[in-house]
Amino acid sequence: MDATLSAARRSWVASAQAPDADFPIQNLPFGVFADPASAAGRVGVAIGDRILDVVAALDAGLITGHAADAAEACRGGSLNGLMTLGRPAASALRHAIGELLTDDGAAPSGTRQRVGRLLVPIADVRMHLPATVGDYTDFYASVFHATNVGRLFRPDAPLLPNYKYVPIGYHGRASSLVPSGTPVARPSGQTKGPDAATPSFGPTRMLDYEAELGFFIASGSDGASAGDDRVSITDAESRIFGVCLVNDWSARDIQSWEYQPLGPFLSKSFATSVSPWVVTMDALAPFRVPAYERPAGDPAPLPYLAASGAGGIDLTIEVSLQSAAMRERGTPAVRLSRGNVRDLYWTLAQMVTHHTSNGCPLRPGDLLASGTVSGPTPDSLGCLLEMTRRGADRITLPGGETRAFLEPGDEVIIRGYCARPGATRIGLGHCSGIVG
Amino acid sequence: MDATLSAARRSWVASAQAPDADFPIQNLPFGVFADPASAAGRVGVAIGDRILDVVAALDAGLITGHAADAAEACRGGSLNGLMTLGRPAASALRHAIGELLTDDGAAPSGTRQRVGRLLVPIADVRMHLPATVGDYTDFYASVFHATNVGRLFRPDAPLLPNYKYVPIGYHGRASSLVPSGTPVARPSGQTKGPDAATPSFGPTRMLDYEAELGFFIASGSDGASAGDDRVSITDAESRIFGVCLVNDWSARDIQSWEYQPLGPFLSKSFATSVSPWVVTMDALAPFRVPAYERPAGDPAPLPYLAASGAGGIDLTIEVSLQSAAMRERGTPAVRLSRGNVRDLYWTLAQMVTHHTSNGCPLRPGDLLASGTVSGPTPDSLGCLLEMTRRGADRITLPGGETRAFLEPGDEVIIRGYCARPGATRIGLGHCSGIVG
């Protein structure tokens, strides 16, 4: 962990010091924002309820040395440039920005005023996708999710024989990635009821969310091309720039009819929402924990996936829902579930290593996601398919509405954060969308 | 069909007049080439064994009017700009270039000499991918392929119930697309023999090719953003810029262990080869035929996929193989199969319409592929998995070598062409790769 961003540090930005702040000075996530009137994105770092404009700070002479090289890479208006430089460059930039925002009085006189003029309220901007994503890959790393879903289709053998050996994943669609807040139109598609003779085409009746952890790829730590090598399990974390939240919206009725034999396709590619702030692996360091402990009897990972150390992350993911009726009444969103990334069967590093084990090039800015983060308890299930057992057990919302799947006007809000006694809370912000 | 490029036309470029030429003046496909010493790609049009440098012709004042706007869009060094303008703009440019290269004497005096100086021998350049591909989607449109593959896994029910309703496809990997001629390293991965207790990790022993037709996406004919609308079946062809050849290299042992439940992943994403020349739909016009006639008893396509007219293409795809030993002896590649795109169960238009039926954005430069083009006869099977029935029936090469799957040093060459009496042959060139 970067000592300069230790728990003792505080920022002079007052909103960063609230106990429930997502973006204290220990976090400093990267994102891309735009003036609502402008299409051009600018790289920023979040502090409290403000954003520091990185290129504006560079141009004001506030960022120097190695960090200035990293800040130069932000001129493209996406994080791809910084991701191409690799994690050490991003760490240097984050460190330098931390110095500008810290409350220890070490900065030269007047700096605080100059920095203050470059801060933009988050509430005043529109957030873009953090990076131009070349390829998006979605994994299936929660054994609880895989088991629950499998049980709905194959009660006697919920988990397929490959699951405990292979970090199962599939190629997702990059063109349908949208920033948090984008409305999600209800997709149409082919569906076929179990008793219907033939399929029909129309709007999905089983629209669902999936709460996931996303992570962006950086070049190797040598700054070299990111696309030419298998990544060993020991190097894999050096290729993870940081994490975000992902909602892998899913049309379950389309999915069940289309998915054999080549996997999910149109049931997913209508929209995938991504939260705007990329929280660095440096910021997550105080919350690293041992990887999920496999139950006795489970096979060990094959050697190319075997790792020791703190491969897990103690990161809570909560899903809340606010229906149109609740919004109208002023009833706040109600929490549906609370899962934790530490319960994933496969670590982020294992997913990266497996992904490149065939020589597949990962490029800076590529997005990987964990798959639905579900845990072992009924209150930790990250999608409605699991919670309602494909609609069999409807859930009740405040005011008496019930849900099997999402209804028009429902807003789904996913939040992520790391918190434990003695450590400063690190938030991922939120990923939301209202469905049609 | 563009009358100016009718069968009667001839080019003054002598090599374009050979009866077996891939690139007569009736073709004029677009591609991206580079001087071997330069990384920068340039858009070119193939004529015989030469390439006309489009931007050089523009800068020389040889392209004017609407066609000049289209040529301007080629400055980016990929076809994405032209694909963003849409098919009418590309047609205007192709027409103007046809005028420069035609032998009718209508061009101003001296033009032929000026154009001649801008022609580059294809043999002297390195070809790039034609476009920067945002997303790559692979379909499964040959019912013969699907049936043959299905029979290997499910002898009693080779074809799944969704096949005749859904143009089955999956998201492929854009980062592993490579230009024809790129060597293909043998991928490693997890495999598990039927009698093995556990899987192991190592080089694939079942490396295969898949001969496919690729097609690139253009913006709508209004030139507007390509990413915001469902594309109706009647509009779908207006969104297809042109076609190429694709080799979807596949590791069958990795595929069979990993593919459930989310589909093929690392068994495909190590390399997908793409031929360099994009043959326009205009050039294919004389070879359009009715769509595949569904056998009696098959369901009609659902209304959103129902079309009349010449949805098919009479386009032959041949696969040849030359082993290292054959190459050393000077034995030419031997043809393994000859299939035809007219045998596909789903048309290109149906694939486009289905792909966007859920609202999924297609972007200019996106690549779609047909899946393995196999026909009803044993000599028309587009991959070794089918030809050898997963290795059960080895094939014999000249000199007595046999193959179940590809061996180190094997070169696979896929050729595509349209030919029939009375029409000028239109070639797609070839897509090749030597495997490790």
Q: What would the two tokens of residue B83 be?
A: 């694909």
Least CB–CB distance from A358: residue in B192, B259, B266: B266
Distance between CA atoms of residues A378 and B266, nearest Å: 33
What's residue B221's pLDDT?
58
Distance to chain B for A163, nearest Cα, Å? 9
B170 contacts A171? CB cut-off 8 A: yes
Q: Tell me the three state secondary structure of residue B350.
A: helix
What's residue B227's pLDDT?
43
The dihedral region occupied by A145, where left means phi > 0, alpha psi between -120 and 50, and beta the remainder, is: alpha
| Residues in chain A closer than 8 A to B188 (CB atoms) | 357-359
What's residue B220's pLDDT?
83
Q: What is the CA radius of gyration of chain B?
A: 22
Q: Nearest 5°: phi and psi at A141?
A: -85, -5
Q: Nearest 5°: phi and psi at A239?
A: -100, 0
| Residues in chain B closer than 8 A to A140 (CB atoms) | 262
With contact defined as beta carbons under 8 Å apart, do B101 and B134 qualify?
no
What's residue A136's pLDDT?
98
Beta bridge partners of A48: none
* Beta strands B288-289 and B279-280, pairing class: unpaired
* Residue at token pair 């004042």: B61
Q: What would the two tokens of residue B331 be?
A: 């034995």
* Beta strands B272-274 and B177-179, pairing class: parallel
Q: E-assigned strands of B65-181?
A: 119-121, 126-127, 136-139, 169-171, 177-179
Distance between CA atoms of residues A112 and A23, nearest Å: 18
Q: Where are the alpha helices (DSSP H) in A86-199?
A: 87-101, 111-116, 143-153
CB neighbours (10 Å) of residue A111? Answer: 15
What's residue A108's pLDDT?
74
Q: Tell me, yes or no, if B254 comes closer than 8 A to chain A by beta carbon.
A: yes
Distance between CA atoms of residues B23 and A77, nearest Å: 42
Q: Tell me the three state secondary structure of residue B86.
A: coil
Least CB–CB distance from A358: residue in B140, B175, B270: B270
Spot the catalytic one: B95, B128, B145, B430.
B145
What is the DSSP track for B24-42?
-TTT--EEEEE-TT----E
Beta bridge partners of B278: B30
Amino acid, res. B249: W
B308 exposure class (CB count in 10 Å sphere: 0-12, 13-18, 19+): exposed
B357 contacts A171? CB cut-off 8 A: no
Q: Tell me the three state secondary structure of residue A238.
A: helix
What's residue B190's pLDDT?
98
Distance between CA atoms of residues B259 and A261, nearest Å: 8
CA A16, distance to chain mean position in Å, is 21
Cβ-based neighbours of A9, under 8 Å, separated by 6 or more:
A25, A26, A98, A102, A103, A104
Q: How far is CA B119 from CA A107, A288, A299, B26, B46, in A?
A: 62, 60, 62, 17, 9
A344 exposure class (CB count in 10 Å sphere: 0-12, 13-18, 19+): buried
Distance between CA atoms of residues A231 and A235, nearest Å: 6
With contact defined as beta carbons under 8 Å apart, do B219 and B88 qualify?
no
| Residues in chain B closer than 8 A to A363 (CB atoms) | 175
Q: Tell me, yes or no, if B261 comes closer than 8 A to chain A by beta carbon.
A: yes
With contact defined as beta carbons under 8 Å apart, do A45 and A26 qualify?
no
Least CB–CB distance from B299: residue in A165, A198, A257: A198
Per-position pLDDT tens, chain A of length 436 = 454 467 788 999 999 999 999 999 999 999 999 988 888 999 999 999 999 999 999 999 999 999 999 999 999 999 999 999 999 999 999 999 999 999 876 777 789 999 999 999 999 999 999 999 999 999 999 999 999 999 997 888 899 999 999 999 999 999 999 999 999 999 999 999 989 999 999 999 999 999 999 999 999 855 444 445 799 999 999 999 999 999 999 999 999 999 999 999 999 999 999 999 999 999 999 999 999 999 999 999 999 999 888 899 999 999 999 999 999 999 999 999 999 999 999 999 999 999 999 999 999 999 999 999 999 999 999 999 999 999 999 999 999 999 999 999 999 999 999 999 989 999 999 999 999 9
What's residue A212's pLDDT?
98
What's residue B261's pLDDT?
93
What's residue A227's pLDDT?
44
DSSP A435: B
Tell me if the bond preceding B261 is cis, omega within 30° of 0.
yes
Q: Tell me, yes or no, if B171 comes closer than 8 A to chain A by beta carbon.
A: yes
With contact defined as beta carbons under 8 Å apart, do A332 and A322 qualify?
yes
Pick from B198, B176, B97, B70: nearest CA to B129: B176
Q: How many CA atoms does the CB half-sphere of A369 hold within 13 Å?
A: 29
What's residue A10's pLDDT?
93
Q: Tell me the three state secondary structure of residue B125.
A: coil
Q: What would the two tokens of residue B207 be?
A: 């490396």
First and final C-alpha spacing in chain A: 43
With contact defined as beta carbons under 8 Å apart, do A265 and B169 qualify?
yes
With contact defined as beta carbons under 8 Å apart, do A134 and A366 qualify?
yes
Amino acid, res. A149: V
Q: Tell me, yes or no, if B160 comes closer than 8 A to chain A by beta carbon.
A: yes
A269 contacts B358? CB cut-off 8 A: yes
Pick from A362, A363, A315, A365: nearest CA to A341: A315
What's residue A222's pLDDT?
53
pLDDT tens for residues B204-242? 999 999 999 999 999 985 544 444 579 999 999 999 999
Amino acid, res. B62: L
Per-position pLDDT tens, chain B of length 436 = 454 467 788 999 999 999 999 999 999 999 999 988 888 999 999 999 999 999 999 999 999 999 999 999 999 999 999 999 999 999 999 999 999 999 876 777 789 999 999 999 999 999 999 999 999 999 999 999 999 999 997 888 899 999 999 999 999 999 999 999 999 999 999 999 989 999 999 999 999 999 999 999 999 855 444 445 799 999 999 999 999 999 999 999 999 999 999 999 999 999 999 999 999 999 999 999 999 999 999 999 999 999 888 899 999 999 999 999 999 999 999 999 999 999 999 999 999 999 999 999 999 999 999 999 999 999 999 999 999 999 999 999 999 999 999 999 999 999 999 999 989 999 999 999 999 9
Pick from B392, B402, B427, B379: nearest CA to B155: B392
Cβ-based neighbours of A183, under 8 Å, separated by 6 or more:
A433, A434, A435, A436
Distance to chain A for B385, nearest Cα, Å? 16
What's residue B105's pLDDT?
66
Pick from A59, A61, A58, A62: nearest CA to A70: A58
Q: What is the CA radius of gyration of chain A?
A: 22
Mutate one of A192, A212, A228, A358 to test the B interface: name it (highest B CB count within 10 A): A358
What's residue B225's pLDDT?
45
Amino acid, res. B117: R
Distance between CA atoms of residues B370 and A261, nearest Å: 16
With contact defined as beta carbons under 8 Å apart, do B404 and B394 qualify?
yes
DSSP A372: -
Task: Find the angle CA(A415)-CA(A351)-CA(A268) to the nearest 5 degrees.
Answer: 60
Cβ-based neighbours of A109, under 8 Å, separated by 6 or more:
none
With contact defined as beta carbons under 8 Å apart, do B134 and B174 qualify?
yes
With contact defined as beta carbons under 8 Å apart, do A398 and A331 qualify?
yes
Q: Which residue of A has its CA nearest to B264?
A: A262
Q: Tell me, yes or no, if A175 comes closer than 8 A to chain B by beta carbon.
A: yes
Amino acid, res. B299: P
Pick from A358, A377, A94: nearest CA to A230: A358
A363 contacts B175? CB cut-off 8 A: yes
Q: Tell me, yes or no, if A269 comes closer than 8 A to chain B by beta carbon.
A: yes
A174 contacts B198? CB cut-off 8 A: no
In chain A, positions 190-249, which contact chain B (CB-CB < 8 Å)? 190, 192, 198-201, 227
With contact defined as beta carbons under 8 Å apart, do B353 and B236 qualify?
yes
| Residues in chain B closer than 8 A to A270 (CB atoms) | 358-360
Distance to chain B for A273, nearest Cα, Å? 13
Report yes or no on whether pTM surpasses 0.90.
yes
